[in-house]
Structure formats: structure tokens, C-alpha cells
Structure 1
Amino acid sequence: MIAPVLSLVSFAVVAAAHSNHAQKPFSGPHRDLWYNTIPGDGGTQADAVYSGITTFGRLPYYPCLASEEENFDIAFIGAPFDTGTSYRPGARFGPSGIRQGSRRLNLYGGYNVPLDANPFHTDFKVLDCGDIPVTSYDNTWAIRQIENGHNSLLMRKPYTDADKKGISKAGKVLPRLITLGGDHTITLPLLRSINKAYGPISVIHFDSHLDTWKPKVFGGSPSEVASINHGTYFYHAAMEGLLRNDSNIHAGIRTTLSGPSDYENDGYCGFEIVEAREIDTIGMNGIIERIRNRIGTNPVYLSIDIDTLDPAFAPATGTPETGGWSTRELRTILRGLDGLNFIGADLVEVAPAYDTNAEHTTMAAADVLFEVLTMMVKKGPLVASE
């Protein structure tokens, strides 16, 4: 009977330890196994980053869609959807892959040296809320599930400053969500959710592709369902009035086009373009300046396609494009946006099946979101100025 008892005790200890990254004292017949090797010496054994249930950065988990009892300031939520892809599927496994790649983010405590902050040790409450249930059989229904699931969390009272005036349409402070994709189609229902809370929003879009194609150009639009995919969602967002005109920007673009008209259509959707190759002429600081000048003090939504990175750094994605930025360059550019009014973010198109055994893509995705989370924590709740 010793083995079963050990197994049950081990599971209980790991589950308890996961919520605060250190194993709590407990009693039982094998108590000494979880203390220092000398019985009675005191102290507990540190929890290993490779043990425990996998959440983003080993944050506490709470089933937020099943219960409203737990408030939060920032939450991670997965949207495992990939039936809007045009090339390689597999991003439905993106949320779990990104979480796996994030396990070692706080291996040494989680302190972000360049941004001088630790997003894992803060007075703000940060949770992993798990995934939105998403069907793989009906795109229209799945998109509705993502919108409603996201909005259910977005409209709740935050843990901090719920009594203060915020920048939302209702004048309230709202929590902020970081969504783990999923293919890039998910950004449309997310923007629909955000529009209910904030109205038209400015967008910073990191990607190798424009994603503003008219459906008749991208996919042929044989039906209304087919017209919404990971290359057309910004077109639909613009047509629905979800975007704040002339304050949106793409960064990292390097795709082939059907012709110059694609750029013209992109302008109709209210975007400025920073090509990936411009890093060779204006440098990272020039790109940061372009983005900041475009956005100003507007509330802004951040959408990051992992294919912004060159396939050498992130091979596991639906539509890889050579000639992209390195992980270091993207992280540096993101940190240059510190202080902007981010009301939410997503990271999409991680398809772990195409990754290396070393988990290059999922670790890169997690590290990029580490920068985003740190900036949100530094900024704090988005209260209205007096």
C-alpha cells in the first residue's frame, strides 16, 4: 500500500504547491520526504518548474467561465480554434503549447530586467482562466463562443480599483485579457467583444501578413462562413466599425500580394504599414517611434502573430514567411511600447506540431507574452484621468 499512498500524497502536494510556487507543509506518514533530507531539519523543498499543472508562467488557475467568484486584473484565456487557416492547421493546440513553453518564465523568480518589473509578484491579481470551449464543427458558432466567452470575462469587476472611473464606455475600470490563439481569425470575435466595452479601438498588429484582404480576393468568398478567415478578419472588423480609423498600424509585414491593390485596400481599413525590411534602414528605434506616433495616447489592442518572427526562430506556425525579425528584435520593439494604454492582447498562429523538439516557437511565444504581461502590470488598471 505504500506506493498508492505516496502517489496520492505527491499529487496533493503538487496541486497545493502550484498556486504559490512553493510546497506547503503537510502531515502524513511520508512527511519527511517533502522536507530537507535530514529529518527534523525544517524547511520545505522548492517546487520544480517542470512539475505541477501547466498554466501560463505557472500562474494560479481558476475556471473563470464556470464561476464568477474570483476577480482578477489580468487573465490569460485560450481560444483553441484553427478552422480559419489557409495553409497549415494545428493552432488549436496553440494555447496548450504556449503554456508549456512558459513553464520556465519564473525559474529564477520572474523579474523582467529590461522593464524593471516582476509581473508574477505584484499587488494585482493575475490568473490563468483556462480555455474558452470552442467547437471545431461550426465556424460561425465557434466565433460566437469566442466573442461571448471573452466578453463574459471582460465585463467583470476587476480585483483592483473597481470603484474608480475607467476609460470604458460605461466609465468603469475593466480587467484586461491576454488571449492565447488559435489562428488569427479569433481576433475578429475578440474585437467584437472589445467594441461592446470600449467602442472602436486602435490596433497594433504584428504580423508578416496584412490580414485586411477582401474576401473575394482571399478565399474567393463562396459563402458568408468562408469569407471570415485568418486573412480577412481585419476587413470585416473595419466594415463593422470595430477599428478606430487612421490610428492602426501593422509591423513586420513581408508577404507577397495579389497586387498593389492589396495595399490600397489596407489603407481603407485605416492601417499604416511598417515593413519587416525597414529594420535595416530605420532600426528598432525607428520602428518603435513609428508605432508610438501612430497610436499616441489612444486605448490600444495588441495582436501578435508569431509569424512576425523569422521561421528560424518560430517554425511552428500556420503560414511561415522568411525574412522576419529575430526573437530579440521583436521583444526589444515590444518593450519600446511600454507605457501605452493596452486594453487587451492576443498571440496567435502557434501550431506546436511543426515545432522543434527544443520548443523554439512555444518558448518564443511565451517570452513575447512575458513582455506584454510586464507592460500591463507596470501600467496598472486603466483608470480615467481626472
Structure 2
Amino acid sequence: MLNRITLLSFAAAALAHDEHHQSLLTGPLQSLWYHTLPGDGGTQADSVFAGIATFGRLPYQPCLSYREATYDIAFIGAPFDTGTSYRPGARFGPSGIRQGSRRLNLYGGYNVPLATNPFDSWATIIDCGDIPVTSYDNTLALKQIEEGHFNILNRAPKTDADKSGPSKHGKTLPRVITLGGDHTVTLPLLRSINQAYGPISVVHFDSHLDTWRPKVFGGSSSEVASLNHGTYFYHAAMEGLLRNDSNIHAGIRSTISGPSDYENDGYCGFQIVKAREIDTIGTEGIIKKIIDRVGTTNPVYLSLDIDTLDPAFAPATGTPETGGWSTRELRTILRGLGDLNLVAADIVEVAPAYDTNAEHTTIAAADALYEIMTLMVRKGPLSLSMDDAMPGDL
């Protein structure tokens, strides 16, 4: 009898929790998870070390199989790493970043420098889980990522779905933040973005150019070999996915095959901000260069390779390069990009197997995404009035 009563109590508690959880999905405190305690115990929030890890403890919805899920900002994982050239392991990046994000909402989630709480705002933000990605066929895997991302992107947002927006069909779409994965995943993501927005302006944080011609990086012995985490921007440029002369790299510092690499990079439509420039122009100078290059009206895609950070701050990455920025410097630069019209973003090359026990890299990655998410929330709904719409948008 006692066991039966105990089971009934827990069943009632679970039902109450589910009902409360559903209300939280549409309420302001969408990142908090509460349990109804038996008896007169009231409710209690989970400890940050308990429960299933979603990004920032956001509500989880299996968006790919649940078409009715609605959101303004969605996180989606792309666990792929068979395009890497040195250390594999970024297929575990999505789960590692989620683990590193557990404490983001510990004290309420308020971003002090940006004076915004992304967890308690106008925006409905959820974690959609991961795109199913095969590890046996790169061509199929990249197609899965493209189709999965577009499935999440090409929906009516929770807010302002009936208003005109910056997409090429004049619609307002939700914003999507992708957890990689090695940097190859940015190509299928840009293909998805191109379906929605056309050629896009890109802000690319990295220690490497990633615009190498296939014969220089990875060989051109096969079509599959030619596409990897060092050539995806070359392919993106050749496919017309990039908006010419409004793309920029920031944090570049790796060795190259020769000066011709820079010439080819320019051909792909990029300007370069080297990591060492922070010593002379500071974070404000880097912010200014990015905004001047990209502008504040074009739709912008932000791609962040965690190796932008120095290995002292983020050792768990596929191709680490010394001489990078600190976590504080990167977060300051990201906060300065609030005027950009960010429509989507990714973070890549997080390989948790090489991290410290203190989770340096995964925490740094989660905190960088927290800044990006805050920028999106602070900017407001991704809709434009008819007067503000750019020519060709509608």
C-alpha cells in the first residue's frame, strides 16, 4: 500500500510539473525548471547540476519531429566532425556546450554589460536538440545538416509572424543558433540561409582563413576530399552564397602556404582583422572594423570558431593556434556588435575530449553564445516595417 501511495504521489507531481512546464514555454521564465513537491512542500527549482542538459537549461522541444513547436530563437546541434584535418571530436561539441552552459541562468540570466535578460524577455527561446547526422558519408551528412537547419529556420516565429521581415520573400523568420560540429558544417548552414535570405554577409571569428582552394588544403583528388573545414568558404563563394565585399574574418593568426592565400581570400569577398591587431587598435578598433565592413542593414550570419580564443582559454579544439584572444576580449567584441542585423549564428570546433576537467572550453563556448543570444534578444523581433525594409527584400 505504501509503495502504491508513493507511486501515485509521484505521478501527481509529474503531472503538475508537466502542466507547469507547458505554461513556462509561453511565459517569461521559460528557462527555469520547477518540480511540485509532495504534500505541502510547494515548488522547487532544479539544481543546476541536476536534470537533462539543454542550452542554458532552456525548454527542450524535438522540433524536427514536432512541427507545432514555435519559437523566436532556436538552438540546434550539428554533431559532425569528419571534415576536420587534425584533431577529431567536435561531434561531441553540442553536448559539451550544453554541459558548459548549465550555470548561465543560475542567478537569473541577466546580462549586466548589455542590460538585457535573454531568458526573461519578449522572445520564446528553446533547444531543438540535434540534427541526426550520419558518421559514414560526408556528402549525406552535410545534406542532412542543410535540410535539418532549413526545417528549423523556415517556420513562422512566435513573435511578429504576420509582419514583413528581411528574408528574400519578405517573411519574418525565427533566428537559429547552431552548435557544431567542425567548421565544415557552416557550408550546409549557409546553403540553408541562402534559401531564406539569398547571399548573406558573414562575420567569421577564427584563427584560420578557411577560404583555401581544395588543391591547397585537403587535396582535390575527389569531390568529398575537396570539402572540409578549411575550404568551405571557398565553396560558399563559388556557389554564390556570400554577399560580396561585406564579409570579414576576425582573429586570424595561423601560418599560410604563401601570400597567394590572402589574394584568394579577397577573391572570396573577405577582409581580414588579424588577432595581433588588438594590441594596437584594441577591442573598440576591432568592433569598428567589423561594423564598417558588414554594415547595419544587411542580414548577417555570424560564425564563431572556438579556436579564435587562445589555447590557454580554450584548449579543446581541433586546430589550436597560440597568440589568440582571451575570453574577456572576445566577449567584449561580441557585445559591441549589437547594431548588426544578426539572423543566424553558429559556434564550431568545440572538441570536449581535449578539455580540462574544469571545462574551460565548453564554458567559454557557452558564454560566447550567451552574448550572441543576448544581442539577438536586445535587437528585438526579426521583423521590419514596410518603411524600413530594404529594396529587394519584399
Shorter chain as normaliser: what TM range? over 0.9
CA distance in 2, matches of 1:106, 1:147: 30
Q: Which runs of 5+ in 1 are unaligned?
A: 36-42
1:355 equivalent in alignment to 2:366? no
Structure 1 residue 14: Cα displacement:
11
- Counterpart contact for 2:133–2:145, Cα < 8 Å: yes
Q: Distance in 1 between matches of 2:159 and 2:95?
A: 28
Q: Does 1:370 align with 2:378?
A: no
1:322 is matched with which residue? 322
For residues 316 and 7 of structure 1, the distance between their equivalents in structure 2, rounded to whole angstroms, comes to 46
Deviation at 1:86, TM superposition (A): 0.1
Counterpart of 1:273?
A: 272
Name the amino acid aligned to 2:367: D
Question: Deviation at 1:12?
Answer: 3.9
Letter aligned with residue 68 of structure 2: E
Secondary structure of 2:302's aligned partner: strand
Separation in structure 2 between the aligned mates of residue 186 and residue 219 of structure 1, nearest angstrom: 16
CA–CA distance in structure 2, aligned partners of residues 3 and 89 of structure 1: 50
TM-fit CA distance, 1:87: 0.2
* Structure 1 partner of 2:390: none
Change (3 A) 1:180 1:3: farther
- TM-score of the superposed pair, with normalisation by structure 1: 0.93
Q: What is the distance in 1 between the residues matched to 2:261 and 2:86? A: 19
Instruction: Decide whether aligned partners of structure 1 residues 8 and 280 sit closer, same or farther in structure 2, where only a CA change above 3 A counts.
Output: farther
CA 1:306 to 1:6, structure 2 compared with 1: closer, same or farther past 3 Å? farther
> Partner of 1:152 in structure 2?
151
Contact 1:181 1:347 in 2 (8 A): yes
Distance apart, 1:13 and its partner CA: 8.4
Contact 2:17/2:35 (<8 A) preserved: no
> Pairwise mapping of residues 283-294 of structure 1 onto structure 2 (< 5 A)?
283-294=282-293
Runs of 4+ in 1 over 3 A off after TM superposition: 1-20
CA distance in 1, matches of 2:68, 2:152: 12
CA shift in 2, pair 1:269/1:8, >3 Å: farther
Aligned-pair CA distance for 1:4: 12
Q: For the Cα contact (< 8 Å) 1:91–1:349, is it kept in 2?
A: yes
What one-letter code is carried by the residue in structure 1 that aligns with 2:243? R
Q: Distance in 1 between matches of 2:83 and 2:17?
A: 36
Cα deviation, residue 154, structure 1: 0.8
Q: Judge conservation of contact 1:15–1:52 (CA < 8 Å) in 2.
A: no
C-alpha offsets along residues 343-383 of structure 1, whole Å, 9 cap, x if unaligned?
Answer: 10000000000000000000000000000000001112222
1:299-310 matched pairs, under 5 angstroms = 299-310=299-310
Secondary structure of residue in 1 paired with 2:102? coil
2:57 corresponds to which residue? 58
Q: Count residues in correspondence.
A: 374
* In structure 2, distance between residues paired with 1:101 and 1:303: 19
Shift of 1:279: 0.3
How large is the Cα RMSD of the aligned pairs?
Answer: 2.0
Instruction: Provide the secondary structure at the position in 2 that maps to 1:282.
Output: helix
1:180-238 CA distance string (max 9 Å, x none): 00000000000000000000000000000000000000011210011010000000000
Deviations along 1:85-112, one digit per CA (max 9) or x if unpaired, are: 0000000000000000000000000000
Question: How far apart, in 2, do the equivalents of 1:271 and 1:211 lie?
Answer: 11
Report the Cα distance in structure 2 between the residues aligned to 1:7 and 1:102, rounded to whole angstroms: 34
Aligned to 2:391: none
The reply on whether 1:23 has 2:42 as its aligned counterpart is no
Give distance in 2, aligned partners of 1:67 and 1:22. 21
Alignment of 1:7-156 (within 5 A): 9=10, 12=14, 16=18, 20=30, 21-25=32-36, 27=38, 31=39, 35=41, 43-156=42-155
- What pairs up with 1:157-176 in 2 under 5 angstroms? 157-176=156-175
Amino acid at match of 2:10: V
Query: Is 1:343 the equivalent of 2:343?
Result: yes
Q: Which residue of 2 aligns with 1:40?
A: none
Q: For 1:255, what is the secondary structure of its paired residue?
A: coil
Aligned counterparts of 1:225 and 1:303: Cα–Cα separation in 2 = 22
Question: Structure 2, unaligned stretches of length 5 or more?
Answer: 25-29, 388-394
2:313: which partner in 1? 313
* Residues 1:255 and 1:109: Cα distance change in structure 2 (over 3 Å): same
Residue 247 of structure 1 corresponds to which residue in structure 2?
246
Distance 1:4 1:192, change over 3 A: farther
CA offsets, 1:137-170, max 9 Å, x none?
0000000000000001111111100100111111
- Distance in 2 between the 1:354 and 1:164 partners? 45
> In 2, distance between residues paired with 1:355 and 1:9?
38
Counterpart of 2:143 in 1: which secondary structure?
helix
In the alignment, is the contact (CA less than 8 A) between 2:78 and 2:145 conserved in 1? yes
* Aligned position for 1:179: 178
Q: State the identity %.
A: 75
2:332 counterpart letter in structure 1? T
Do the aligned residues in 2 keep the contact of 1:14 with 1:51 (CA within 8 Å)? no
SS at match of 1:104: helix
Q: Does the aligned pair in 1 maintain the 2:307–2:349 contact within 8 Å?
A: yes
